[in-house]
Structure 1
Amino acid sequence: MNKSQLLSKLWEQYAAITPSAKKIHDLLEQKGEKIENDHIAIRTFNDPRVSIAVLEKLFVQLGYEEKGDYIFESKKLFAKHYEHTTDKNAPRIFISELELEKCSSELQQTVKQILDSCDPAVFENPELVISGTVWEANSQEIYQKLLAESEYAAWMYVYGFRANHFTINTNALEGFKTLQDLNQFLENNGWKLNASGGKIKGTPEQLLEQSSTLADLQTIHFKEGEQQIPSCYYEFALRYPMANGALYQGFIAASADKIFESTDVKLQK
């Protein structure tokens, strides 16, 4: 699998459970915009079988290198971002992991049981990052148990290894000079934005502004019955030049912390 194939597969999986992303993408293209992808985000646990160190391998093989790391204390997350060494138009990759040792013993045990239920060979698959749920994710009881402590863990249980969100590079849009302009356009066309921490996270002084839609809802068929659960969302990033004139390439942890909440069940109400 080459880089283009991997990125296409990630988009294909993402769009399948995030129909709003395809609609927004098409709507902007109808306005004559050429969509560029700023970054793709992926979630996991820090269990050594599925940690960042495992998921990064395929990206590194395809020319990506680590460029920064981030800590999200309140959500008990650690993350790294990667940039392609030669293709400057390739999207950044942002991989986060839940720090299990900082969670309750009950959550740790539940995640361990989920991973232990899998054939160990699935974790050796070099394409694990696009494998979805490699465990049986059909228990509403397990989902609710995880959700009570960590929305992130509950999302992982239901959706597994896939892109959690794609991000439009707002700098590349010609008809929108500010993120506020883009947000207003999206709201005028019926999309709800994540307002946690404000609809725009970050400032020009921080060199990065971000916003996002609320996640779509997918009907999940648990053995106990059906339930609608937030799937994925579409993010929008506007980067500002550093002192040397080059655009800032990293991320702001405080802003990303609020972007994570785009999949939060509570924001859907």
Structure 2
Amino acid sequence: MTPEILFEAMWQDYITRLCPSACRVHQLLQENEPLVNDHIALRTFNLDPVRMSTLAKPFLEMGYEEKGHYHFESKKLNAKHFEHPDPKQPKVFISELETEHCPVPLQKIIKSLVAHIKPEMVSDASFLYGGRLWPVSLEQYHILSEESEYAAWVAAHGYGANHFTVSVNQLNQFRHIAEVNRYLNDNGFSLNTAGGEIKGSPAVFLEQSSTMADKVAVEFTDAELLIPGGFYEFAKRYPMNNGVLYPGFVAASADKIFESTNNIH
């Protein structure tokens, strides 16, 4: 499988199942050239057979290389990002929940979910856009939500791109990420304001913003519920001292981007 084929399959899953509003964002921002996807993000648990290394494997086989490492103590997450030698390919940001640092009731639920997975279910890249691999009840979802929105999100949605990201550097009609934010606000989109609408700054070579996640219908074993799905991110990268655009991520900013899927009651 080529990166192009994989990202197209992930995009179709993303706009169908997780973030239907992404199509409208595309229409609003589309110019003469196709929008450049800066990166995608994936979420998982640090348990076999779905820990971060399993999700990374298909990308490594396509030539991606492991780059930055990140830790989010309050959210109990570890993450890495991966880059392809071809700079036109999107970066990949993969995070995993440190389940052993979670309360015992949450650990038990997560382990019971992951126990449904057979190794062959995650043996090729198609599981990255295959959705949920286990049954989960509404009660389990609510218990997880109380402790970790992240855990609840993975339990409910399974595997798929948590977000795609428009590269603001490419846009002609907007030079600044604040202008993109204003345009989206004017067109009815709610933005993630955790830590401010713009996360980061030119001083750290990266600015990011994002919509709040779409509410999408999810079938649990005992009911259907509208819950946060995927969101759309926007990133502007700045040149480092050597003139090259900063390729990594800023942990303090990413920490707030995670909150784009928080359930606002």
Look up the equivalent residue of 1:94 and give its one-letter code.
F
Q: Deviations over 1:162-211 (max 9, x none)?
A: 10000000001011000001111111111110001100000110110000
- The whole-number CA distance in structure 2 between the counterparts of 1:127 and 1:225 is 27
Gaps of 5+ in 2: none
Identity over the aligned pairs, expressed in percent? 48
Q: Which residue of 2 is the match for residue 246 of structure 1?
A: 244
Q: Deviation string for 1:211-269 (max 9, x for gaps)? A: 00000001223344332100000000001110001100000001000000000002xx5
- Aligned ranges for residues 53-202 of structure 1 at < 5 Å? 53-85=53-85, 87-137=86-136, 139-202=137-200
Q: Deviations over 1:71-115 (max 9, x none)?
A: 011100000000002x11000000000011111111111111011
**Does 1:229 pair with 2:230?**
no
| Residue 259 (structure 2) aligns with | 261
Note the C-alpha offset of 1:28.
1.5
Mapped to 2, the partners of 1:94 and 1:20 lie a distance apart of: 22
CA contact under 8 A between 2:135 and 2:221: conserved in structure 1? Answer: no
Report which stretch shifted further, 119-128 or 2-11: 119-128
Looking at structure 2, the residues matched to 127 and 220 of structure 1 have their Cα atoms a distance apart, in angstroms, of 20
The whole-number CA distance in structure 2 between the counterparts of 1:93 and 1:38 is 9
1:25 corresponds to: 26
Q: Spell out structure 1 runs of 4+ moving beyond 6 A.
A: none
The amino acid of 1:96's aligned partner reads S
Partner residue, 1:211: 209
Give, in whole Å, the separation in 2 of the partners of 1:33 and 1:2: 21
Query: Secondary structure, in 3 states, of the residue corresponding to 1:241?
Result: coil
Amino acid at match of 2:19: T
Q: Secondary structure at the match of 2:242?
A: coil
Residues 58 and 127 of structure 1 are in contact (CA less than 8 Å); yes or no, is this contact kept in structure 2?
Answer: no
| Deviation, structure 1 residue 41 | 0.3
Displacement, 1:119?
3.2
Q: Distance in 2 between matches of 1:126 and 1:238?
A: 29
The 2-side partners of 1:46 and 1:221 are apart by 24
* Contact 2:6–2:125 (8 Å) recurs in 1: no
Q: Over aligned residues, Cα RMSD in angstroms?
A: 1.3
